[in-house]
Structure 1
Amino acid sequence: MVAKYEPIYLLFEDAAVKWKWTESELFRFRRMWEDGADLSELTKAFKTNRRSIALVVMDQAEQGFIEQRRFGLFGK
């Protein structure tokens, strides 16, 4: 049970995260993922940061749109 006035930690509260992705961006992301693009290539292609790419990877994997890769975010 949480104490009545216990401080709460909010994940990514002050973090810069790309929360909104268009369908065309997601399609492009999936294609690049399947082609083995690494984290650096993905951040440059979508003009965002590593945190945002890691989150979209988790989201797309959870929904079954992408498969786990041998080297994960590091690509081929």
Structure 2
Amino acid sequence: MPENNRKMQTDISELENGQLAEQQLPSDFTLVVLAGGASSHMGREKSDMLLDGQTFLEIQIGKGCQLGAKQILISGYRGTQ
């Protein structure tokens, strides 16, 4: 396997574990969430779908706050609440 493919696999596995993201984030960053799009299979906005009692959007915002986002921009979200 070429060296750059090995590096990419390592970076992706670190990102999936949350390690790479936390190490490389600046101390003052803006989180941009692309939250548009209805799910034709589920019949509602994807960002409104629940995982462990929270919407996907709430999970993303919570993680952004946890990582220190100073500003959160949400694009394309209409919401139901």
Relative to the length of structure 1, the TM-score reads: 0.29
